Amino acid sequence: MASAKTDKFQFHDYYLVDDLLNDDHRLAREAVREWVKQEVSPIIEEYSEKAQCPQHLFKGLAEIGAFGPSLPVKYGGGGMDEIAYGVIMQELERGDSGIRSMASVQGSLVMYPIYRYASEEQKMKYLPKLGSGEFIGCFGLTEPDHGSNPAGMVTNIKDDGDAYILNGAKMWITNSPVADLAVVWAKDEEGKIRGMVVESGSKGFSAPEIHGKLSLRASITGELVFEDVRVPKENVFPEIKGLKGPLSCLSKARYGIAWGAIGAALDCYDSALRYSIEREQFGKPIGGFQLTQKKLAEMITEITKAQLLAWRLGTLANDGKASPAQISMAKRNNVNMALEIAREARQIHGGMGITNEYPIMRHMMNLETVLTYEGTHDIHLLITGMDVTGLNAFK
């Protein structure tokens, strides 16, 4: 029987999930893990403490293929499968949820809708530059008064000949203050939700930063304000109408978060396990006490269940069979799991657990956002409830 001290368990792969991956997945994972070790880990505490976004990392994220890993190469993506996308998100979030967010938004919420819904001309105009990190994008769905219920949005477009006139405001938008363009969802004159690319240099467009966040501090968040912004008609996605447009993008991003959260959990678990072996009280390592072992045993059990859930979801996604409700279950379970593990890991570190010498509090604070964005913990519970009962609690 192998033990936690052997190489096999170096990254806490208790059920040998690694054996289920192929060489491409492992190569992608190693490359991103190494990049995170070199580029993210040495600086992240400082950026997080100062509430600054390490914007120089956008280029590096592009170089390691973190933007749209499962989108076609022709459209700026990585041409890999959904499991490769998942393991990349896991390794990024092992570093920090905010760094994973930079990649999730760019790949799944900006490149994916343009790839899926824009005209060929618009795809070629924007996607290669987004894939290379030359352009940074953001995704505007949430409004100040419409978060969990985006169907109630009031941001709107009105026909004005060769353009639409966009008015309204979006709230809590990752990357908006530094974005070159925004994928924006707004109602047309028939009340149908439409998606469009809005360039940040457009007259009447502004993106003020939101300050005072105690979570996801290394990620930049802002508003989007549109005052009579002219959006050329060719920038509006021609076919897709209704909420399923933005929700289909959320499915893609939520899938990545289900994998990403495992990375944050693994980093907390790793730190707690090491600390439990090094730290002595009452003449022996605290890992020798039954209560510490209970915590660690439950942590690795929950991580293992989450890894298997994500892996199976990945195989379903590769076959085009992952339903939105299955994705909701994995997002909700895995993020909650990671948050619980961060809390347990904090306890194992005692007083040291509240300092920035260990990554625990940063992950814990980040995960409070991850539990809420892309659909809150309770919204995903209700999606599962609706799926199993056939009864809609939202209406």
Identity of the amino acid at 177: P
The footprint of ligand FAD on residues 356-385 (CB under 6 A) is 369, 372-374, 376, 378-379, 382
238 binds, among ligand TGC, ligand FAD, none (CB under 5 to 8 A by kind): none
8 A C-beta contact, residue 318 and residue 273: no
- Scanning 279-393, the segments in alpha helix (DSSP H) are 290-318, 324-348, 360-372, 377-389
Binding of ligand FAD by 152 (CB under 6 A)? no
106 binds, among ligand FAD, ligand TGC, none (CB under 5 to 8 A by kind): none
The footprint of ligand FAD on residues 178-217 (CB under 6 A) is 216
8 A C-beta contact, residue 61 and residue 89: no
Give the range of 40-48, 70-78, 133-141, 352-360 binding ligand FAD by CB under 6 A.
133-141
Q: How many residues bind ligand FAD (CB under 6 A)?
A: 22
- Report the candidate in 238, 264, 239, 113 with the shortest Cα–Cα distance to residue 181: 113
Binding of ligand FAD by 60 (CB under 6 A)? no
8 A C-beta contact, residue 243 and residue 151: yes
Q: What are phi and psi of 282, to 5 degrees?
A: 50, 35
Q: Residue with the closest Cβ to ligand FAD?
A: 147
Binding of ligand FAD by 255 (CB under 6 A)? no
Q: Which of 90, 122, 142, 307 is close enough to bind ligand FAD by CB under 6 A? A: 142
Q: How many other CB atoms sit within 10 Å of the CB of residue 250?
A: 23
Rounded Cα gap, residues 157 and 2, in angstroms: 61
- Report the candidate in 202, 184, 217 with the shortest Cα–Cα distance to residue 113: 184
- Report the candidate in 162, 164, 177 with the shortest Cα–Cα distance to residue 213: 177
Query: 174 vs 271, which CB is nearer to ligand FAD?
Result: 174
Give the range of 167-175, 187-195, 228-236, 324-332 binding ligand FAD by CB under 6 A.
167-175
Q: Give me the least distance between CB of 325 and ligand FAD, in Å please.
A: 16
Binding of ligand FAD by 275 (CB under 6 A)? no
Q: Give me the least distance between CB of 142 and ligand FAD, in Å please.
A: 3
Query: 81 vs 93, which CB is nearer to ligand FAD?
Result: 93
Q: Give me the least distance between CB of 243 and ligand FAD, in Å please.
A: 13
Q: Which parts of this chain interact with ligand TGC (CB under 6 A)?
A: 101, 104-105, 139, 141-142, 148-151, 174, 242-244, 247-248, 250-251, 253, 324, 373-375, 379, 383, 394
8 A C-beta contact, residue 257 and residue 214: no
The footprint of ligand FAD on residues 217-246 (CB under 6 A) is 221
Query: 281 vs 392, which CB is nearer to ligand FAD?
Result: 392
Give the range of 67-75, 132-140, 267-275, 331-339 binding ligand FAD by CB under 6 A.
132-140
The b-or-e profile of 99-137 (16+ CB within 10 A means b, else e) is bbbbbbbbbbbbbbbbbbbbeeebbebbbebbbebebbb
Query: 242 vs 350, which CB is nearer to ligand TGC?
Result: 242
Q: Which of 111, 173, 303, 371 is close enough to bind ligand FAD by CB under 6 A? A: 173
Q: Is 374 a catalytic residue?
A: yes
Q: How far apart, in Å, are the Cα atoms of 52 and each of 41, 55, 159, 211, 343? A: 15, 9, 39, 10, 25
Q: CB neighbours of 296 closer than 8 A, spacing ≥ 6?
A: 269, 272, 273, 276, 287, 348
Catalytic choice (91, 93, 143, 374):
374
Binding of ligand FAD by 99 (CB under 6 A)? no
244-278 vs 324-348: helix crossing angle, rounded to 10: 20
Q: Which residues are catalytic?
A: 374
